Structures are given as C-alpha cells and as structure tokens.
Structure 1
Amino acid sequence: MLAARASWNRRVPGGLVRRRRGGRACRGPRLERGASGVRARDLPFRALARRDTRSSRSADCRTRAAPGGGPGGTGIHARRPRGRCGGGHPTARRGVGDRVRAVVVGGGLAGAAAALELASRELEVTLVSAGAGATALSFGSLDVAVPSPGVSGLPLRDATATRLLSPRERLAACLRTRPRHPYATLFGHSGAGSAESAATDAVKSAAASLDGWLAPSGLRVEGGLDSARLLANVRGALRASDFAFTGPAEGDLQGAAEVEVAAIAGLAQHDARPLARALAAEFAAIGLARPALRVVPLPLPGGFVADGGSPARLAARTDTEEGLGVLLEAVAGRHRDEARFRRADGERRLLLLPPILGFSGVKAKLARLREAAGCRVAECLGAPPASPAGLRLVRALDAALSREGVVVKQGRVCALERTGRRVCAVRLSLREGASHTEERLEAEAILLATGRFLGGGIHEREGGVHETLLDLPLYDGAGVRVDGLAARRLVGPSPEGPQGLFSLGVRTDSCLRPLGSDGAPLFENLFAAGDLVGGFDSAVERTGLGVALLTGLRAAAEMGRLVEEESP
C-alpha cells in the first residue's frame, strides 16, 4: 500500500495532496468532496488498460448562439441518436478519405459527447482515443453544480437554511461567485436571470441528449435540477448528486425509513459495518433525520466471491445469468435465518449493495433484484479502485459512437500541423494489435478534449507544466498564467486550500477556442473541452463530468457552425 502511494505521488504532480483531499477528515465526519488519486494501471479492470476568428465570424460568439440560449446561448441540441450504422463493435469504422470535417482528440465524456453531437449534424467526424481517462474512474453520479458556497466542511448543506440546496440554486451560485469557472464562460458571469436561464436550459438539454445516447445500452441518466439525490458511496460518505446513472441513482436516502447495508463475506474494498457507522455520522453532520441502518449478510455460496475478493471479478460474474441467479437467491433469502420483526414497507426500505452489478444491463438486473428483495435496491457510488460505474459509462458511450457511425481511431496524436492561424492537420500514431502505424488527417475543425494529467493533455517537462500538443498558455483558478512553472510551486500547503495545480488549464472564449496572452483566440478552428479547460478543480467542485458534457456539446455546436459556414 505504501509503495503504491509513493508511486502515485511520483507519477502525478501533487498526488499526495490530491489523495488527502479525496479522503475523510480525521477530526470528525465530513462529506466527501472528490476522488482519491489513482493510476489507471492500479485498477483491477483490465479493460481500462486501453486507456482570431475569421473576418466573417464575430469575436463575440454569444450574439450567434442557438435560440433560447441567453447570453452565449446553450449551443446544445437535444437530438436522439439516429442509429445510422446499427450495432457492432464499439470501434466500428465507416470509410472516409484522408480529409474529414472534424477531428476530436480524447476518448472521455467530453470527446465522446462532442463526436456524437457532430455525427447527429451529419458531419464526418473522427475520434482519436488513447483511453477514456478520468471518465473511466467516475463513480456513478453526474454533477453539474458546485457545492453550496461558503460552507466550510459541509459542502452539501446551506448553513442558514439547514437544508440541502437544490442543483438549480447551486448552479446559480456558481455563476454569481466564480467568474473563471467554465460555466461563466459558456453562459455569462452575472447574477442576472438570463445567465441562469441559459445554464438551466443547457443542462436539461445535455442530460436529455446523453440519456438518449446511453439508453440503448440499458444505462439511463436520472435526476434533475429541482432536487438533489442523497447517495452513499462505498466508504459511507454521503454525496448530494444532481444526476446519477442507473445503479446508484435508485439509492436516494431521502425519505428512506430503513436502509439495509448488504455484507458480502470475502469481498475486498467493502466493509458493511464501518460503512453503516460512517453513514450514521454523515447524517448527524448534515443535520438530517437518519433512517434505521442495519447490516444484512447475503448468504452467497462458498467460492462465489473469487480468491482475493476482487469486486471487478464479482461484477463480471453477475453479468452472467448463472451469477445473477445466485445473487437473486441470496437477496431473496437474506432474512430466512432471522426472527420476524417489523420492517418498513417496500418503497421506504432500501437494500444497498456494493457496486457489483456488472458492466451492462444494469436496469434489467435492478428490476429483478427489486422483485426478489421486496424493496428498493441500489448500488453504492463507487470509489477507486472499486468503481465499475465508470466502465459502464465508457462501454455505453462506445456503443453509441458505433451506432452513430463515428470513426474511432485507437492511438495518440503526435503533432498538430499549423498554417497561419489555422490547425490544418493531425498526425497520429495508431495501434493495430502489436504494431503501430502513422497517419495524417486533414480537418476543418479540431477539438482537444485531452484532459489534464491523467488524460495526458497536460504534463510536466523541463521542470514545468505544459499543454502537451501545442504548448498552449495555461492559467490556474485565480487567472494567473502558470505554464512553465514547476508543479510543486502550484501545490498549496493545505489540502483544504486552493490548489492551482488542480485547477489549471487553457482559457477560452465563449466559443471554447483557446486564448493567447492577449485575450484573442490563438487559432480560428481549434476548440477545447472538458478538464483541459481551466478555472475549476473537479475534485473539490465535483463538476468534472458536468463540465465535460456541457463543454463537449458547446464545442461541437461551434465546430458545426464553422464547418457549415466554410462549406462551398
């Protein structure tokens, strides 16, 4: 364990602070604010190893946003996938020439959402992916709003109202108080209703689009802006989630009279009794009424949990009909050896499982488990390395890309070719089995959704942090330019304080084109999305997937407009 932590600290700048910020405080209960740092290769999932404007364009893109967008508009269209190519392998390709209309670099949620939106506009798009990055490490929730402002130690609670703020209220607070957050760039930094209305409409549209892309794979996006879902993770920390994916989404603890925490003998990274005690402390910390908490052992047969207790292997076993049948029988028989006692009715009783429901078909499994249990059934939110929810999302996105006919190339971008103020081509190093080939793609618009350190969009070289492909200027959350500075200089002394290393990224205009030091777009046809955009700390603000989705769709809308304008 110590060796693994030391290795992580060496691999990612500021890894020690990142790990500490994601954990629980030693001085009493507090709510979890982010993920522990973890390398992709530390996960037990083998699947994760595949890891300025033109004169005709106004510099202020807000005046040309889609209708209903307010300042800057939403630029997002809630189209459902048309399924032009049907099913097939996630990286199925349709033939294209050496020139495509758009190239998206990055295989996480931001890149996939952008590619799917471009494909829905009938544009030829190629997605270059070296892995899913931080998306594969997500826990099962999709948060679009920052925690409650000005509440130290209890980020999910309003100190004066003694209640959970709704996602809509927290989203509005973000626009008012965080002028450098990507949302302020997209929708305008103001307390006026127009910015809030634009952001609200964009979130609703984006969630509907993502839900439509994922639904054919049996994964749904559930939730909304009017109320948060209070979900528990595998460590017993509570999290007020704006949206959640199938599995954890059914585990809202608000209104539950009784919560049964399932205990599975031999399962690693999950201990039901400490989890139940942590949940009790968390409810006390936020001042909400606590449901009755009980630990319920599941009578699984010997050998069902693999040697070593790997959650990933157990999840894979429940993907088979035989394995699911064993789990159903254990859930149905969990009270057989107990004396009868009064329990809450089915709707007010919740059976909380570890995240073991496999990597596909979770919605159907939950329906069968609910029937067997006689009450609501849900998974805990995951935490590295026990988080199959991220891999479910990646698989569902891969399937959507295949259905939409997006060309997916597995490999890395070696270089971007520039001509004047345009990026005209992408040079790729592609993996084909054990061999590597090089390829050159000309494109009319290019999106960088390469992430930060984990995704490879930012790295440290020659004693300083740099953007990987074009050495674009980088700025921290305070708006200070930091590219070229040593990573250690961007790490604050306190894990609870601001950390410039984890909020750095490129600065963009409202069209999401990276800006130079003079405040003008560096290139006419280059866009950025996801964690590569700076101004926010995804671990503290919990908006990593939300920013990825919203910026990916906005960038795709702007790329589509650019390509359509330049078409003969």
Structure 2
Amino acid sequence: MRTSDVIVIGGGFAGLTAAITAAGRGKQVTLMTSGAGTLAIGGGTIDLLGYLEDSTLVDSPRDGLSRLAADHPYSKVGGQAVADAVQFFLSLCQEEGFAYTGSLDSNHWLATAVGTLKPSCLVPLTMDMTPVKTASHVVVAGFTRLKDYFPELIIKGLSKIPGYQKNYEQVVIDPGFVGGRDVTTLDIARWLDTPTGQQACFEQLGKHIRPGSVVIIPPVLGSRPNYDIRNKLEQALACKFVETVIMPTAITGLRLRAMLLNRAKKLGVNIMEQAHAAWAVQDGNRVTAVVTSNIDRERSYTTQAVILATGGFFGGGISADPDNVQEAVLHLPVVAPPDREEWGTLKLFSGAAQPFAKIGLKVDASLRPVDAQGRVLLENVYIAGRNLAGYDYCLEKSGNGVALVTGYTAGLNC
C-alpha cells in the first residue's frame, strides 16, 4: 500500500502514540520506523514534569504547567491537551489489559536501583510504592549474576529516606543459569514467564516471606504487557511486589512498546520496519509524498499529512556538523545558539538546564513547523516528541510526557 491519509515517521513513544490516535479517528495510517528507539529499553514510566528549569521540585504536574516558558511544548498545546492526553493513555492501557496508575494532580515517587526515589506521573501498577510505605517487613530481592543490581545498595539508600525506615531483608534468587555472560533482566523475565521459573522463584522467596510482606524486585515480572506473573506470585506468597527503576535495558519499556504495537495493529496501522525515510516530495508548502531509501532502491509513498517523530540528536532526528544543524528528513530549520560554546554549561551536574537540550524545531499551537518569524513552513506536517525545541527532558523529567502529549495532539490535528 503506497497511499495513506497519514504517514508517521518514527516508531518511538511519540510516533506510536500519534499513529494510534490518528488511526483511532478512522485515518489510514502508515508508520515508518527504522528501529525500536529508546522506548524498548527505557523505564516504561511516563515522566510528565518532575522539576522546573530552576530545579524546583514539582509535586503536582498540573500546577507546574502554568510555570513553564511559552515555548515549552506543553505551553504550545495548552493544559487541556495535556490533560486529554493523560486520560487517553490511561484509558488505552486499561483497555489493553496493562493498566497504569497516576494523574496530573501528583507525582509518584519510585524506588531506583541505587536506593533513591524518582518522580514520575503515570506508572505501571508494579512500580507503585504505596505498599512499601505501609509495610513493616520489606524483602529486597536480587538475582545471581544480574549485572549492576545490588539489593544492599537499595536497602542502604531507602533506609535514609523519611518514611522508608523499615525492617529490610536481603534475598538473592538463583535462576540457575549457566554460561559465561552476564544475566540481564530480560533473561530473568523470560525465565519467570515459564511455570518452572515461577515455581523456583516461589520456593526461594517463600522461605523469607511473611503474610503482608512487600518484595522490592528489579523489573523482571514477565516480559509481556500484563500483570499475570505478578498476580500469580502475589497470590501464592500472600505478599505484594514492587518493581524498581533501573538503567537501560528495562523490561518495563519493552512491555509498554509491545502494548502500543498491539493496539496499533488492531487499528490497522501499516507498520513498515527498517523503513529509512530519506526525503519528501513537496507541492508548495505541503508534503505530498515521503521517499524511503533502502539497500535496493528508493520508494515513494503518497500521503495527506505527515507526523515527524524522529527524535533529537541521539535518535538521529536532528544532526549537527561544524557548519550546520538541521532536521534529518524534511531539512527543517533547527533553533540552536549560533555559537557552539553556548550549547552547554561547564557544570553538568549543577541542576541547571543545558542549552543543547532545548535545541529543536519551533512549532505553532498545532505543532506545525514554523520559521524564526512564526510563519508556518509546511501546512500538513506536525512535529512530535524529542525533536521539538524548548524543553530539557533530562532535567525536567518530562521526556515520555512530552512524547505522549505531542504525539496525541499531532494525531488529532493531522
């Protein structure tokens, strides 16, 4: 099929959200993706807004929205669009059997693998820390040969946080893997997908669990987007499980991506994998086709609208050379300080925003690209996700939140 109502370029969280939204409105959608992006290895949480640019902590993302700059993506689309996107996502997850919890009114605080707490807005049920707050006995579980995961570090860190001074017990579970390489969370999740793995985990944990205990565990409770493994173990052991936030690769992101792909396929989205969008055919200020370039030849796909969700510098959506900074597919102008010395600050861990993080494409309220004077460059192109200008996702803890909100809004507007 070479003709679509909408072509979405980019298969990350923003692109999948945009494709699902547009297809849900009856549009014929083609999703072009050259890879899984960071969604598949990320934490699977939706960080909407954890900190302001001056490092002020945000307890309520809803309240924090009004304190953002006018060029922030949330400010561009408006508070109602943010609220609508959050409700859309929560409803989607519920319908797909992989419910998330959270709201715009308050952030969750999630346990990390180094014993700290991280703010996030919408989280899988397995990461909700509420059971830990009320428990008297907490088991912190690790796995033999699991790389960079140390239960004793989690216990040491959490024990210093008010409200988390608990009776902690450390347990190491042995999945019985053989071979020389490090064990990953995906290895363990697939092990727990099996009845043999579930039984072995039950037997080893059962020696330490009391009724009402809480088990803090790495994100390994199954590889699929559901809570079947958690439910089976909780019922068998009469306890609660809480998964931690870890460095990539995290199974929580893999589950989220699988759920979104399932929904997209149900809606009839045409997913083109390893489709490298190279350039576009234009008629005036409209894009009429997207051209892909692969190892054999170029192919042209006609469309009525395009959603560009190709990521920033790390995702390849924006590129920089000594003389120029540009968007990679449509060659749209990128907002960046002309002096490269102004792209960053020397104090990387000072809590201050980094100018290079805000580099991206300027858009109007509909997320269409504009020039420096605010004139719309392409009437039927919409920008979503990390290639947008005006926000520091790392400092703000807003990466997946901006992807969700702008992907949803672009899917509506197209």
| C-alpha contact (below 8 Å) 2:116/2:157 kept by paired residues | yes
* Residue among 321, 328, 335 paired with 2:195: 321
**CA-CA distance at 1:173 after TM superposition:** 2.4
Contact 2:368 2:382 in 1 (8 A): yes
Report matched runs for 1:431-442 at 5 Å: 436-442=296-302
1:290 maps to 2:164: yes
Report the Cα distance in structure 2 between the residues aligned to 1:384 and 1:439, rounded to whole angstroms: 35
Q: What is the identity, as a one-letter code, of the residue corresponding to 2:221?
A: L
Show the counterpart of 1:138. 42
Letter matched to residue 318 of structure 1: L
Q: CA deviation at 1:463?
A: 4.2
TM-aligned CA deviation for residue 426 of structure 1: 0.3
Work out whether residues 267 and 305 of structure 1, in 8 Å CA contact, stay in contact via their aligned partners in 2.
no
Structure 2 CA distance for partners of 1:437 and 1:333, relative to 1, 3 Å: farther
Partners of 1:175 and 1:183 within 8 A in 2: no
- Distance across 2 between alignment mates of 1:267 and 1:251: 26
- 1:202 partnered with 2:76: no
Q: Give the secondary structure class of the aligned counterpart of 2:227.
A: helix
> How far off is 1:398 after superposition?
1.5
The Cα of 1:533 is off from its aligned counterpart by 1.1
Preserved CA contact (<8 Å) 1:222 1:243: yes
| 3-state DSSP of counterpart to 1:516 | coil
**1:30-429, aligned counterparts within 5 Å?**
96=1, 98-147=2-51, 155=57, 165=59, 167=60, 170-187=61-78, 195=79, 198-199=80-81, 201-212=83-94, 215-216=95-96, 218-249=97-128, 253-281=132-160, 283=161, 288-300=162-174, 302-303=176-177, 307-334=181-208, 346=212, 349-360=213-224, 362-385=226-249, 387-410=250-273, 411-429=275-293
Cα distance in structure 2, aligned partners of 1:148 and 1:534: 16
Structural RMSD (CA): 2.4
Asked if the contact 1:110–1:552 (Cα under 8 Å) also holds between the matched residues in 2, the reply is yes
Amino acid of the residue matched to residue 122 of structure 2? Answer: F
Check the 8 A contact 2:131/2:240 in 1, yes or no.
no
Aligned residues of 1:272 and 1:295 also touching (Cα < 8 A): no
CA contact (8 A) 2:216 2:241 kept: yes
Mind listing any 5+ residue stretches in structure 1 that lack a counterpart? 1-95, 157-164, 188-194, 336-342, 476-480, 560-568
Q: Describe the superposition over 1:364-386 as per-residue Cα deviations: whole angstroms up to 9, x where unpaired.
A: 1111111233221121122124x
Aligned counterparts of 2:82 and 2:387: Cα–Cα separation in 1: 23
Name the residue aligned to 2:402. Answer: 547
Q: RCO higher in 1 or 2 (8 Å CA, sep ≥ 6)? A: 2
Structure 1 pair 251/420, CA: closer, same or farther in 2 (3 Å)? same
SS class of match (1:316) = helix
* Paired AA for residue 461 in structure 1: D
**Contact between 1:266 and 1:305, CA under 8 Å: does it hold in 2?**
no
Structure 2 CA distance for partners of 1:490 and 1:531, relative to 1, 3 Å: same
Q: Distance in 1 between matches of 2:134 and 2:55?
A: 24
Gaps of 5+ in 2: none
233-242 or 101-110: bigger deviation: 233-242
Q: What SS class does the counterpart of residue 532 from structure 1 fall into?
A: coil
- Alpha-carbon distance between aligned partners in 2 of 1:471 and 1:206, rounded to the nearest angstrom: 32
Check conservation: 2:281, 2:288, Cα contact below 8 A. yes
| Residues 230 and 252 in structure 1, CA contact (< 8 A), matched pair in contact too | no
- Where 1:408 maps in the other structure, the secondary structure is strand
Scaled by the length of structure 2, the TM-score of the pair is 0.91
Give 2:306's aligned amino acid.
I
- Distance in 2, matches of 1:131 and 1:318, equals 27
